[in-house]
Amino acid sequence: MGVLKDFFNLVKGMTITGKHLGRHAVTIQYPEQKMEMFERSRGVVVLLSDKETGELNCTMCMLCMRACPTAAIQIDAPRDENKKRVLNSFVIDNTLCCYCGLCEEACNFCAIKMAPLYEFSTWNKDDLVWDVKKLQEMGRDVPYEDTRKKKPAAADKPAAEKKPAAAANPGADAKPAAPEAKPAAPEAKPAAPEAKPAAPTEKPEETKDEAAPSKAEPSDDDKKGDV
Amino acid sequence: MSPLRTEEFTINMGPHHPSTHGVCRLILTMDGEKVLKVEPVIGYLHRSIEKICENRTYVQCVPLFDRFEYVTSMSCNMVFSLAVEKLAQIEVPERAEYLRVIMLELNRIASHLLFYGVTAMDIGALTPFLYGLRERELIVDLFEMTCGQRLTYNYIRPGGVSRDIPPEFIPKCREAVKIITEKMSDYEGLLNENPIWKVRNVGIGYLSAEDAIAWGVSGPVARASGVSYDIRKNDPYSIYDRFDFEIPVHHNGDCYDRYLQRLAEIKQSLRIVTQALDGLPEGEIQPKKKINAITFKPPAGEVYARVENSRGELGTYVVSDGTNKPLRVKMRGGSYNQLQALPIMIKDCLIADLVAIFASLDVIMPEVDR
Amino acid sequence: MELYGIFEWIYGLLADTGLPEPWLTFVVYLGLGVVIFGTLSVLALFLVWWERKIAGHIQQRFGPMRTGWHGWYQTIMDAVKLLQKEDIRVTTRDKAVFFWAPVVCFVAAYLAYVVIPFGENLWVADLNVGILYIIAVTTLTVISLLMAGWGSNNKYALLGGMRSAAQVVSYEVPMAVSILTIIVFSGSLSMVDIANSQQGNVIFNWFIFKPPFGIIAFLTYITAATAEANRTPFDIPEAEQELVAGYNVEYSGMKFAMFFLAEFVNLFTVSAIATTLFLGAWHGPLLPSWIWFLLKTFGMVLLLMLFRWTFPRLRVDQLMEFAWKFLVPLTFANLILAGWMKYAGWHW
């Protein structure tokens, strides 16, 4: 009895949908209820501030800018006469950001993070280009684990030497923190991070320079070959 | 009285049509309801990812591969990582391999669940779509928990994986596997034996094994035609040779078998995930000498890597000139070949069949257009 | 019942004013028409909301939640929105046909309610050919769909219109024949007589429980009625995955709303007919008759909604095959056997 079997199968399908009729919805009512975001969720990019001083963790090393595949991060931090970097602007264009999280991984100073925040839509596209103030403000309440190496305030030199290795090897074991670093004078604090990144930034620049020409040649050949 | 004059007409299906899965345009020559000729027009979603890759460092290419075939981004990450690892002779730690297999198989399940829903919706049953996505959500949550994203994961990297799994991952994953195993009976009960589903799918869109091979069709579509070819078995990559699983094969080559094929593959993937969770070792997730996102330079050379993803053979051909950016990246997706095989499947079909066939191929347009 | 009492009271009131007889009838029936029209439009709006809620719960989501308690006036807001929308008219349309199609559809949907008894003594007219009238006017819908398909001058719309013509005409046959089976039982074409012949508080008087013919007629009727109302699994005229929206692809704003509303009025119509013919009409204990009628009808509507949210869609040729090769022979065999049994004088 093919007809009866078909009929039975239709009824079977309807019992499955009928059973679901009485069940609770698995969706939520968004603006009132919100999903609990996972701690690792990659939402919008923010800049983190030091938990104690409230200053930006950023040392203007530009690693994130280099790691960004879409050039969404633009940092302008020229050196002043003391060879210290001065932050002119730190702009993240959220319309370009592809939320890959490479900037967060590149950063050695817990300065940039993809926070589990997702409500930042605006009416105007220009409002999605965030400057340092907005980025810092967004990052205020973002919890993060401070894995920065505490730098001895007085010993700038050894730290600077040590850094290149760390840059080439991001996330390498933290070297033992020096508890004396904390009570260091407030002026020393900004000075130290600024001095240090000078070394790591140097390195990528070099590699890039040497990489660029070598890259250009073969690709040109390739094109000619195609033609 | 002269006989009634009829004429053929062309109809534009797409680029914005609900059942072309993205922006595929099909130019149909129709005789009433009957489709005489179909001509796929592709390129509406072309983003020139391959070219952009040439201007990005190797690690920066991974997010681009995410966008190559976004339903199974993990496979795309994997295939590029495999290529780079082959190129630079990088040894991947054991734990990372296991994590990769877990993620790849979970992603395959997620993709097939999406297929289940979307195919049902194309044939008019709207509810399975929500059921399929409901369970897919569990998997996507697992991904978000681990790597932070729900669609473009950027998780599997050259050398390993980007982050270790959080401690709650394993129990959650086991729970998800259990739930999906249970819900399989719901999926099958809703559609498998449904007479309407069967008349719409059985015998529709026949693709013979010879044609499948001739057109380079791979993956579930080829296996549903009786071609027992799965890269996981035939050319094992990563650690797939360690797991006990089967390659389901169906022989009729019609829409119904393609559907059954994918449901069967979900079950096999669940088996692999369970085994991988059981055997997950402790240890590092990235090689000793970590790969720098900017300065990593594999030696000059060229390499082809391929993985089995839910739409067939996913391959990438990477040419390196020794700099930190690839000289050329070529991506190969299964969808492209399947879409090209569409015209030979539409013999004597109606427009409704065309939708069913298109759905059963599970074509995803970004993979076709790149 | 109470409503009928109110009408009699109004009728008396008007008669007292000394209005001449033809005018009196006209005014009363006009009032009646407005009431039925209003009630059914509200009911249709409610059904839209209900369908969305049911779809939502079947699919484990909420459905409309924003407007009022569980979004109860969602469709009203939708209607307001559609009223405000620009009425986009394609320049290549057939002007008159394009304009009149939704009107015909809308009017045809309401015509059946002339003879449907909503409760004891609660009907507009008790035609002695009531069921024949219903079969006649429900078919009018197909003309409007064909008009919409042709008038839009769009290939998708034309395909949808042609499909609906073929479908509705085909399914008219099994539907009419399965209704004929009931007429064999009741011996009358009048809806009220059919309802009354299922009287008695025991449900076994219902025609659906006259085995095996009643149940077969019921199932075939439901199948054909689903096709008549253009609902999944027979919604091929507007198959959104193939024809995008079929016949109404070029319609927007209020014209679209009219098609949409008519569809849900049709849904209620086929359920109400099923209730009257098979489920004992308004008969039931304790509760007022019209509540029984509504309960049964909503039960039927729920069943049709469950169909929609469970089944895939048939293909157009399979649909025809199913009608002509399965339903028509089955219903005819059912009718002939039932008639023979009746003739032989066997009772159930």
Whether chain B has a CB inside 8 Å of the CB on C189: the answer is: no
Rounded to an integer, what distance in angstroms lies between the CA atom of residue C340 and that of residue B119?
47
> What are the residues whose beta carbons fall under 8 Å from the beta carbon of B244, sequence distance 6 or more?
B271, B275
> What are the residues whose beta carbons fall under 8 Å from the beta carbon of B75, sequence distance 6 or more?
B69, B104, B107, B108, B307, B308, B309, B310, B314
- Which token pair is C147? 């008009």
Shortest distance between the Cα of A207 and any Cα of chain B, in A, equals 7
> Which has the minimum average pLDDT: A64-73, A163-172, C269-278?
A163-172
Which chain A residues touch C56 with a CB distance below 8 Å? 25
Rounded to an integer, what distance in angstroms lies between the CA atom of residue C224 and that of residue C218?
10
3-state secondary structure of C319: helix
Whole-number average pLDDT of chain A: 68
SS (H, E, C) C206-224: CHHHCCCHHHHHHHHHHHH
> Which amino acid is located at C334 in the chain?
N
Which chain A residues touch B120 with a CB distance below 8 Å? none
User: Using CB atoms within 10 A of its CB, is residue C99 exposed (0-12), middle (13-18) or buried (19+)?
Assistant: middle
Query: Does the structure show a pLDDT above 80 at B258?
Result: yes
Across B98-102, C117-121, C312-316, the highest mean pLDDT is recorded for B98-102
Q: Are C214 and C334 in contact (CB under 8 A)?
A: no
CA closest to C56 among chain B residues: B127
Rounded to an integer, what distance in angstroms lies between the CA atom of residue B282 and that of residue B276?
13
> Which has the minimum average pLDDT: A153-167, C65-79, C295-309?
A153-167
The pLDDT of residue C160: 82
Q: Are B342 and B225 in contact (CB under 8 A)?
A: no
CB contact under 8 A, B294 and A204: yes
Cis status of the peptide bond prior to A204, with omega within 30 of 0: no
CA atoms B38, B44, B49, B52: torsion sign: positive
Which chain B residues touch C310 with a CB distance below 8 Å? 125, 127, 190
Largest Cα separation within chain B, whole Å, is: 87
Q: List the end-to-end C-alpha distance of chain C, in Å, as a whole number.
A: 31
Shortest distance between the Cα of C58 and any Cα of chain B, in A, equals 7
List alpha helices for chain B, DSSP H: 49-53, 58-66, 73-88, 94-122, 127-147, 169-187, 195-201, 209-214, 219-224, 231-234, 255-279, 334-340, 342-345, 351-361, 365-369
Per-residue pLDDT of B129-165, as tens digits, reads 888 888 888 899 888 888 888 888 888 888 888 888 8
- Which token pair is B367? 């993979």
Query: Does the structure show a pLDDT above 50 at C190?
Result: yes
One DSSP character per residue, B236-294 reads --TTGGGS-------SS-SHHHHHHHHHHHHHHHHHHHHHHHHH---S-SS-SSPPPTT
Rounded to an integer, what distance in angstroms lies between the CA atom of residue A105 and that of residue B252?
49
Segment B65-91 shows an average pLDDT of 87
Segment A16-44 shows an average pLDDT of 83
- C224, C200, C220, C247: which is closest to C105 by C-alpha? C247
CB contact under 8 A, A26 and C61: yes
DSSP designation for B151: S
Q: Are A105 and B60 in contact (CB under 8 A)?
A: no
Q: Best mutation site among C50, C52, C54, C60 for testing chain A: the one with the most A CBs within 10 Å?
A: C60
Rounded to an integer, what distance in angstroms lies between the CA atom of residue C252 and that of residue C246?
13
Report CA-CA distances (Å) from C325 to B72, B310, C319. Answer: 45, 40, 10
Which chain A residues touch C54 with a CB distance below 8 Å? 21
The pLDDT of residue C98: 87
Which chain B residues touch C233 with a CB distance below 8 Å? 124, 196
Cis status of the peptide bond prior to C212, with omega within 30 of 0: yes
CB contact under 8 A, C241 and B9: no
List alpha helices for chain C, DSSP H: 2-16, 21-58, 74-84, 95-111, 130-138, 140-151, 155-186, 191-196, 213-228, 253-278, 289-310, 316-321, 328-344
Rounded to an integer, what distance in angstroms lies between the CA atom of residue C164 and that of residue C234?
10
Segment A81-104 shows an average pLDDT of 83
CA atoms B266, B267, B273, B276: torsion sign: negative
CB contact under 8 A, A207 and B294: yes
Segment B171-189 shows an average pLDDT of 88
- B311, B90, B104, B133: which is closest to B218 by C-alpha? B311
Rounded to an integer, what distance in angstroms lies between the CA atom of residue C113 and that of residue C40?
9
Q: List the end-to-end C-alpha distance of chain A, in Å, as a whole number.
A: 68
Rounded to an integer, what distance in angstroms lies between the CA atom of residue A226 and that of residue A167?
39
Query: Does the structure show a pLDDT above 80 at C54?
Result: yes
List, in sequence order, every residue forming a beta bridge with B157; answer none if it has no partner.
B160
CA closest to A21 among chain C residues: C58
Whole-number average pLDDT of chain C: 82
Q: Are C53 and C63 in contact (CB under 8 A)?
A: yes
pLDDT band at A150 (very low <50, low <70, confident <90, very high): low
CA closest to C233 among chain B residues: B124
Indicate the pTM of the whole model.
Answer: 0.81
CB contact under 8 A, B190 and C310: yes
- C318, C131, C151: which is closest to C247 by C-alpha? C151
Q: Best mutation site among A5, A16, A39, A203 for testing chain B: the one with the most B CBs within 10 Å?
A: A16
Phi/psi class of residue B22: alpha, beta or left (left: φ > 0; alpha: ψ in -120 to 50)? left
Cis status of the peptide bond prior to B171, with omega within 30 of 0: no
Residue that has been written with the tokens 């390129």 in this structure:
B43
Residues in chain B: 370
The yes/no answer on whether domain A27-138 falls in CATH 3.30.70.3270 is: yes
CB contact under 8 A, C233 and B196: yes
> Which amino acid is located at B29 in the chain?
T
Q: Are strands A129-130 and A45-47 parallel, antiparallel or unpaired?
A: unpaired
The pLDDT of residue A39: 82
Chain A and chain B share a number of CB contacts under 8 A equal to 112
Query: Does the structure show a pLDDT above 70 at B124?
Result: yes
Shortest distance between the Cα of A180 and any Cα of chain B, in A, equals 31
Percentage of residues in chain A having pLDDT higher than 70: 64
Whole-number average pLDDT of chain B: 86
The pLDDT of residue A192: 41
Query: Does the structure show a pLDDT above 80 at B265?
Result: yes
The pLDDT of residue A151: 55
> Which amino acid is located at A115 in the chain?
A
> Which has the minimum average pLDDT: B77-81, B234-238, C142-146, C343-347?
C343-347
Q: Are strands B9-13 and B25-31 parallel, antiparallel or unpaired?
A: antiparallel
CA closest to C314 among chain B residues: B196
Per-residue pLDDT of A170-227, as tens digits, reads 444 444 444 444 444 444 444 444 444 444 444 444 444 444 444 334 444 444 333 3
User: Using CB atoms within 10 A of its CB, is residue B343 exposed (0-12), middle (13-18) or buried (19+)?
Assistant: middle
pLDDT band at C3 (very low <50, low <70, confident <90, very high): low
- B216, B226, B209, B204: which is closest to B340 by C-alpha? B216
CB-closest option in A17, A168, A172 to B295: A168
The pLDDT of residue A169: 44
Rounded to an integer, what distance in angstroms lies between the CA atom of residue C144 and that of residue C263?
12
DSSP designation for A110: S
Percentage of residues in chain C having pLDDT higher than 70: 94
CB atoms within 10 A of CB B102: 25
The pLDDT of residue A219: 40
- What are the structural domain ranges in chain A? 27-138
CB-closest option in B61, B166, B290 to A169: B290
* DSSP run (H or E) holding A21: helix A2-21
The pLDDT of residue B351: 83
One DSSP character per residue, C133-196 reads HHHHHHTHHHHHHHHHHHHTT-HHHHHHHHHHHHHHHHHHHHHHHHHHHHHHHH----HHHHHH
CB atoms within 10 A of CB C270: 26
The pLDDT of residue A164: 44
Rounded to an integer, what distance in angstroms lies between the CA atom of residue B246 and that of residue B260?
15
Q: Are B243 and B345 in contact (CB under 8 A)?
A: no
List, in sequence order, every residue forming a beta bridge with B29; answer none if it has no partner.
B10, B37
Query: Does the structure show a pLDDT above 50 at B306?
Result: yes
> What are the residues whose beta carbons fall under 8 Å from the beta carbon of A81, sequence distance 6 or more?
none
CB contact under 8 A, C62 and A27: yes
- A62, A95, A64: which is closest to A76 by C-alpha? A62
CA closest to A219 among chain B residues: B327
**Which of the pair, C111 or A200, is modelled with greater confidence?**
C111
- C132, C324, C331: which is closest to C217 by C-alpha? C331
Q: Best mutation site among C59, C69, C302, C322 for testing chain A: the one with the most A CBs within 10 Å?
A: C59
Per-residue pLDDT of A59-86, as tens digits, reads 888 888 888 888 888 888 878 788 777 7
Rounded to an integer, what distance in angstroms lies between the CA atom of residue C124 and that of residue C28?
10
Whether chain A has a CB inside 8 Å of the CB on B62: the answer is: yes
